[in-house]
Chain A
Amino acid sequence: MTFATHTGNRGLVLEEKLIFEQGQPDRTGVDLPEPKGTKSRLGGLDRESDVGLPGLSEPQVVRHFTRLSQKNFGIDSGFFPLGSCTMKHNPRLNEKVARLPGLADLHPMQPESTVQGALELIDTCAHWLLVLTGMPAVSMSPAAGAQGELCGMMAIRAALDARGENRRRVLVPESAHGTNPATAAACGFTVDSIPATEDGRVDLAAFEAKLGDDVAGIMLTNPNTCGLFERDVRKIADLVHAAGGYFYCDGANFNAIVGRVRPADLGIDAMHINLHKTFSTPHGGGGPGSGPVVFSEALAPYAPIPYVVRNENGFHLVETADENDGMKPFGRLKGFHGQMGMFIRALTYMKSHGADGLRQASGDAVLNANYLLARLKEKLSVAFPGYCMHEALFDDSFLKDTGVSTLDLAKAIIDEGFHPMTMYFPLVVHGALLIEPTETETKESIDQFCDAVLSLVAKAESGDAEFFKNAPYLTPRRRLDETAAARKPVLRWQPETA
């Protein structure tokens, strides 16, 4: 039954204005003491005009953001199989620990003698990452996966410069995440695309043909963005090394192999680890992330400042490029020392799992994905044959002649109470649907999702395209006009002028 309400609210689905539309000049949500009227020493630059911020009371603010939260789908809300993003459970213990006095309230410029526990924590987190990857060195400072890529590629650039070689071409598979070519370009490299084989891996012959003395290296995601393990990864490593280049591994999908395969055994030179994926630091609606980078012996000397070392006085933070003889840091990537709050959560997660639990987690992630693949392949078109790793990839050929697109199907999945899969990525597959259940989902929730998707596919096959074109129906907002948003961007609220 549908009918219009006076308020526009629909039961628990509440309309909420912008804070700027609810403020009153006399209201505030904080009680601060009255200023004493000290003569200012602001250099004559005292603010004279209003900032333009609305005044709201604390209960208004709480209600505002509570209502907004109710328009959001999170992992806590339900099944969130967004491929390549690893939306696994975010334990609340990690949040609690990150807020402990003595961790959350440390200033980054405190004297070392007052932060020995913090430096030990960074060092311990680094140790876990080194053992899990088998690599000899790690830089903890990158702020996110994309900055981890920058860190790895800058180290490669620095190593090439130190060798006096002007290699500028980086090989990047077509299936790569967009950050890979963007990062290579930011380091002054040109990007040369490697085609994929029919089974979704790097075309080894094409790759070999592209090697030459101007090749700086390869950026390869493994397991790759199609959710497949690169079978020829060692050959790729050997070939790129023989050609004088380096192997950058995008470790976005490390969660599929953690505790089971050490990237060091595959011949890599650098790899970033998204702590917000493999080690479950919360995605937070788009960050903050954290992207530590492990390095081989060849690249380790070029790792950026700062980094933690242990000496006879305890833990020490190296903050300058010229402090340590053996090291030739390429620079600094971020203010201060990295995403400490994320190291705390990741270490808490790793200690909770232990070596045995991490191995179980990757195994269950791969098992869940293959189960989902097995259940859906009766109706959906699998992109590539064989077992998958932590995510299952389909193309849209199963929707051929239905008039329904991948996007339409995703929108109908929303009405069923799930977050849709990743759509149209990787680009090597037409109308891609990339589904990653993660290890923290039950068999029951995967079954329910598969049943729902299969019923939707049957509905699409029955010729009801119109139903899909207009989905979703049951969300706080229906399909949004993105073209209009881009054509005439409105990026902020403006007071109405007469």
Chain B
Amino acid sequence: MRYLPLTRADRAAMLETIGASSVEELYCDVPDGALLDAPVDLPSHLGEMQVERDMQALAAKNIGASSVPSFLGAGAYRHHVPATVDYVIQRGEFLTAYTPYQPEIAQGTLQYLFEFQTQVASITGMDVANASMWDGATSCAEAVLMACRATRRKKAVLSGGLHPHYREVTETYCQYSDTEVAGRDGNPEQQATVEELGELIDDQTACVVVQYPDVFGRIQDHTRLADLCHAKGALLVVVFTEAVAFGAIKSPGSFGADIVCGEGQSIGNALNYGGPYVGLFATTQKLVRQMPGRLCGETVDQDGKRGFVLTLSTREQHIRREKATSNICTNSGLCSLAFTVHMSLLGEDGYRRLATLNHENACKAADAIDAVPGASVVNDSFFNEFTVKLTKPAAEVVEALVAEGVLGGVPLSRLYPNRSDLDNYLLVAVTETNTDEDIAALAAALKEALA
């Protein structure tokens, strides 16, 4: 086996040094009958060529989102990832390192984490960010738990504009910690007002969670909501699923948000059929000690040179055990590196231009779709994703579009399987990767499907 270097002679010599007669003897503590004497019922080892061929055969049974005009979003977005990103993250010194427990030989990881934290804090408009979470949905759940710790309250109010997966994960995380989750049902045609959300805030409410832009693509100013939350002693959590958006729209920090968290996949990371992604998590200086996850901080070494270390670990499970702020251990290290490299390449000009291009393409697609009989764009505002009302069930239309070689969007019925009132709505995302030809193909296929 190509990964296993021990020779027969090595094994014999090593057993002799150990004083054991066989490898099986080393397993002497395994209870009687539990030690297998032959391989389990699975195929035998394969050479590299054969394995690659088998895996390619599986890949060939899929239609890749980059092989056809594709307009899917709903929390995962296809963007162009520069070649440099993949080169950097495949460097063995990054790929095959671990959590920087020995900072003297992990300054590479630590310095990019410090840069990552600064980038995330910058785009969200917050004071500080952590070294990443697992994904946007778990970040949202952790934000709610953090708000409960910080306010010593036990209720979260979730806006109807929150991605259903984020809501479900938050409910799952809260269900066994006596935390009440309240909220409103989402509606693409009608947006809850600040007053309507405000009615749900009581003296036990730890936080209100809104998504910006929301799951239907709408963009709303949350300044008044922040003020209302703060007046009632609650925190405002702003969630996002598209990190490119903050290149074009005001940062959540400018509203007075207390926690801003969401999905960082859009920058530097492939779609990967849903994972691994990278949760971004930012907050105010005041709340930093309530944060979950790893934090990298600046310090000096014994020669007085600047260096970086993991810090404030007294919040974490390996020190605090059952009293930790979260059970998270490993985060999304390599995905956060991909984010950092892509963001470094973009810089101020590139990041803002990328966002503008996304928005312009989305505007173009919205106009093209609006011109299709039987399809109308619902949104007044959007960044690169909007909801379209159709005259037929969206799931059927999407299947018809597949037959035409177009991945036309996400039917809301996929996100809201129990809401038959949303069956005719389609969520369409448009990024810089979509060409004019893609948009024309979508409009033409929609026209045919709706005829």
What are the 3 tightest A-B residue pairs by CB atom distance, in nearest-first order?
Answer: A336-B274, A76-B92, A117-B61
Q: Is the CB of B14 within 8 A of A367?
A: yes
Q: Is the CB of A72 within 8 A of B246?
A: no
Q: Name A357's contact: one of B4, B298, B309 (CB within 8 Å).
A: B4
Q: Is the CB of B346 within 8 A of A33?
A: no
Question: Does A478 sit within 8 A of B, measured CB to CB?
Answer: yes
Q: Is the CB of A337 within 8 A of B46?
A: no
Q: How close is B121's CB to chain A, nearest CB, in angstroms?
A: 5
Q: Give Cα A66–Cα B92 distance, bound, in whole angstroms.
A: 11
* Cross-chain pairs A/B with CB under 8 angstroms, 20 sampled: A28-B347, A30-B350, A71-B108, A77-B92, A132-B40, A146-B317, A186-B176, A188-B178, A190-B322, A288-B335, A336-B76, A336-B274, A340-B275, A355-B43, A370-B14, A371-B18, A386-B29, A481-B302, A484-B300, A485-B298
Q: How close is B179's CB to chain A, nearest CB, in angstroms?
A: 10
Q: Is the CB of A69 within 8 A of B51?
A: no
Query: What's the A-B contact tally at a CB cutoff of 8 Å?
Result: 718
Q: Is the CB of B344 within 8 A of A61?
A: yes
Number of A residues, CB within 8 Å of B: 209
Question: Does B349 sit within 8 A of A, measured CB to CB?
Answer: yes
Q: How close is A459's CB to chain B, nearest CB, in angstroms?
A: 19
Which chain B residues (220-248) contact chain A, with CB distance < 8 Å?
Answer: 220-221, 246-248
Interface string of A16-58 (1 = CB under 8 A from B): 1011100101111110110110111111111111111111101
Interface segment out of the listed A86-94, A204-212, A239-247, A460-468? A86-94
Question: Does A399 sit within 8 A of B, measured CB to CB?
Answer: no
Q: Name A490's contact: one of B14, B61, B134, B298 (CB within 8 Å).
A: B298
User: What interface size band does chain B fall in?
Assistant: 35 or more
Q: Is the CB of B131 within 8 A of A38?
A: no
Given contacts A43-B380, A114-B407, are A108 and B27 in contact (CB under 8 A)? no
Question: Does A420 sit within 8 A of B, measured CB to CB?
Answer: yes
Q: Give Cα A143–Cα B276 distance, bound, in whole angstroms.
A: 8
Q: Give Cα A167–Cα B64 distance, bound, in whole angstroms.
A: 47
Q: How close is A343's CB to chain B, nearest CB, in angstroms?
A: 9
A-side interface mostly: loop
Question: Does A403 sit within 8 A of B, measured CB to CB?
Answer: no
Question: Does A266 sit within 8 A of B, measured CB to CB?
Answer: yes
Interface segment out of the listed B93-101, B150-158, B439-447? B93-101
Interface string of A332-348 (1 = CB under 8 A from B): 11111111111010011
Q: Give Cα A368–Cα B300 distance, bound, in whole angstroms.
A: 38
Q: Give Cα A49–Cα B62 distance, bound, in whole angstroms.
A: 43
Q: Give Cα A82–Cα B98 distance, bound, in whole angstroms.
A: 9
Given contacts A73-B93, A178-B317, A286-B333, are A259 and B345 in contact (CB under 8 A)? no
Which residues of A sit under 8 angstroms from B15, Cβ to Cβ? Answer: 367
Q: Is the CB of A61 within 8 A of B84?
A: yes
Q: How close is B129's CB to chain A, nearest CB, in angstroms?
A: 7
Q: Is the CB of B263 within 8 A of A335?
A: yes
Q: Give Cα A272–Cα B399 distance, bound, in whole angstroms.
A: 36
